[in-house]
Amino acid sequence: MLDITNLERRWFKYKLKRIFPYGLLVTLILVLGLSIPLIFSKGSPAPIDSLPKNSIKTAISTPVETTNEESSMILQPSMQFIQSMGAVPETDTTVPDTTLLGSSKNSVTSNTVKLPPVEASSSQSQNVKVPIAPTIKAPLPLVKGKLTSIKRDDVAFDIHEIEDRFKNNSNPNLGLYIAHYHYDHGNYAEAYNYALKTNAINSSMDDSWLIFAKSLVKLGKEDQAKKTLQLYISNSNSQNAKNYLETLTKETSK
Amino acid sequence: MEPSLFSKPRDLFVDVVNPKDYVQIDSVSHIYQSLKNSVQKPLKMILLYGRPGTGKSMLLHKLHHDLSKHQKVYMIDIPIIDEDDFLRVLAQKTYSYASREPLSLTKFLELSAAVNFPIIPIVLLDEAQLYSSALMEKIRLISDARALKFVITLHKTDNEEIIAKEHFQTRIWESIELHNASYEELKIYIQKKLLKANCFDVANMINDNNIKLINKLTRGNYRDANKLMFALFTLYTWYEEHNPHKIKYNALSKKYIEMAAIHTGLIRA
Ligand SMILES: Nc1ncnc2c1ncn2[C@@H]1O[C@H](COP(=O)(O)OP(=O)(O)OP(=O)(O)O)[C@@H](O)[C@H]1O
Ligand SMILES: [Mg+2]
């Protein structure tokens, strides 16, 4: 549930923070306004009005900037896929890609304010260069005849990215996918956790319940696994679950 | 307890993909039509791409729902990244070919040749960025052999957009991009959702400034909009129960929208 009082407090702080720069600006202008007559009386009129304008600009541009950063933070994953698509024989995307990216980035930044992009663009170009290297090292085996022997070792994607996405979108399919992934990699506790989360989001996915039960078995909690399965069967009448429960009981009775 | 005015609107914005909740938005309907047309073209593979939360899965499920009335369509929304497993599951779904053994591509194509459907069945693959290049190549070969037709969705980042476009512009791909909602579209999305569920009172509370703020906070992202609206109406249900005199019914409160945004992380505070 929502913690309303806490939320109200945070909102209040947020408002204060937003008002603060403008408050500062106003006091600055006030101070300057008060000091004008003083300076004026000493006889140097010119440089005054250039000062406050600058300060206005910076004060306004800071909040905008941070939101931009946020948007690029959210949109990170899946380089792996494109990169692997790039490795498909018929096109040699690697070289033109970098140039394309570079040029487009330039055009964007030149349209916007002159200020910050040095850091940002350098980190982006790193983003581009680093992942492309591995595709060159391991070009796609040409696809003829013995396709079945190709293993998916080129799927070295970052499971954490997917986990983050799951956290964000609570898509049960992703949850199940992650649970599978961990199970396949022997991380049964993680598999258990993700299957549990997935079940909470969508309680009618056979696979998820099976992974959940299987993880429990791997964690040495067969009894709990059986109980869970029975519970699920009574709700869903799932044949898959029944089959698995059967094999489980057989195995343990041996 | 009396049912709250805001609990129903709240539940409308739970972030799930169900084709029954599909809301018709002009630009999306347009895309949807061209998607339906493309599906009829032989040999093309269709790529539906866009940022997270732009409605790719929703469109794919809608397509599944609508097409399945007329032809064979199969949805694989949980990516099967193991290559042997993929063909096995595909053969089982499309040709009811049950096998515990891994299936080679040759065998798969033999199976499909033996079946010979009047209309090529369509396979919908969600979250295709998780498939390996080798598996994608197999998928392409299956499509080339006219055994199956594929529609895939792919989500990706700003940087990759250009690369992907380049690559997918080869003749086999027909790519369709989904975007975040514009101000108008977001307005339609929220209003239609509420009206469809007969939440007239609440729909009337939402004014243009409210939508502007919501649009600014979510940048027109449907998922973020869902999260925000869900949190917002959760707040309203709370106030309705504990502090009803605070609620003003002539418009949505800017403060509550911002609080909801803080809660969902759209505002960092
Ligand atoms: N036309 C629409 N009608 C109703 N709801 C929609 C529509 N488009 C998107 N939504 C809602 O927006 C949310 C996000 O959409 P969806 O899950 O399809 O995004 P996505 O593009 O598949 O994202 P991801 O790349 O993260 O998988 C869903 O809850 C969905 O219900
Ligand atoms: Mg999706």
CB–CB of B223/B15 below 8 Å?
A: yes
How far from the centroid of its chain's Cα atoms is residue B4's Cα?
Answer: 30
Domain B26-178 fold: Rossmann fold (3.40.50)
Residue A130 has pLDDT above 70, yes or no: no
Sequence-distant (≥ 6) Cβ neighbours of residue A150 within 8 angstroms: A141, B83, B134
Tens digit of each residue's pLDDT (9 = 90 or more) over B199-249 = 999 999 999 999 999 999 999 999 999 999 999 999 999 999 999 999 999
Tell me, what DSSP letter sits at residue A179? H
Q: Tell me how far apart the 2 most distant CA atoms of chain B are, in Å.
A: 71
Q: Is the pLDDT of residue B14 over 80?
A: yes
Rounded to the nearest integer, the mean pLDDT of chain B is 88
The length of chain B in residues reads: 269
Cα–Cα distance measured from residue A62 to residue B37, given in angstroms and rounded to the nearest whole number: 46
- Cα–Cα dist B153/B176, whole Å: 9
Chain B residues 248-267 with CB within 8 Å of chain A = 255, 258-259, 262-263, 267
Q: For helices A118-137 and A94-111, what crossing angle results, to 10°?
A: 170
C-alpha torsion sign, points A60, A63, A69, A75: negative
Query: pTM higher than 0.90, yes or no?
Result: no
Which option is the CATH number for A159-253: 3.30.470.20, 3.40.50.450, 1.10.8.590, 1.25.40.10?
Answer: 1.25.40.10
Where helices occur in B147-265 by DSSP H, the ranges are 158-168, 183-196, 200-205, 208-218, 222-242, 254-264
Q: How far is B112 from chain A (nearest CA, A)?
A: 17
Residue B35 has pLDDT above 80, yes or no: yes
pLDDT tens track for A62-90: 333 333 333 333 332 333 433 444 333 33
Domain boundaries, chain A: 8-114, 159-253
> Is residue B198 less than 8 Å (CB to CB) from chain A?
no
Q: Is 80 exceeded by the pLDDT of residue A139?
A: no
Binning pLDDT at 50, 70 and 90, where does residue A160 land? confident
Cα separation, B203 vs B191, in Å, equals 6
> Is the confidence at residue B173, as pLDDT, over 70?
yes
Dump the DSSP string for B61-128: HHHHHHHTTTS-EEEE-S----HHHHHHHHHHHHH----SS---HHHHHHHHHHH--SS--EEEESSG
Query: What is the value of ipTM here, to two decimals?
Result: 0.81
Which residues from chain A sit within 8 angstroms of residue B17, using beta carbons? 171
pLDDT tens, residue by residue, B156-166: 655 454 445 55
A97 in B contact zone (CB under 8 Å): yes
Residue of B nearest to A155 (CA): B132
Which residue in this structure is represented by tokens 């008060």? Answer: A34
Nearest alpha carbon, ligand 1 atom 25: B52
Closest CA to B83 of A78, A155, A156: A155
Query: pLDDT band for position B256 (50/70/90)?
Result: very high
Mean pLDDT within A144-156: 35
A248 pLDDT band (50/70/90 cuts)?
A: confident
Question: Ligand 1 centre and the CA of B155: distance in Å?
Answer: 12
Separation between Cα atoms, residue A202 and residue A217, nearest integer Å:
22
The ligand 1 site (C-beta within 6 Å) comprises A 169; B 15-17, 21-23, 25, 28, 50, 52-58, 155, 222-223, 226
Asked whether the beta carbons of residue A148 and residue B78 sit closer than 8 angstroms, the reply is no
Whether residue A154 and residue B141 make contact (CB cut-off 8 A), yes or no, is: no
Euclidean distance between CA atoms A170 and B137, whole angstroms: 30
Q: How far apart are CA A174 and CA A198, in angstroms?
A: 8
pLDDT in tens, B38-62: 888 777 788 888 888 999 999 999 9
Q: Which residues of A touch B136 (CB under 8 A)?
A: 84-85, 88
Please report how many Cα atoms fall inside a 13 Å half-sphere around the Cα of residue B50, on the Cβ side.
Answer: 21
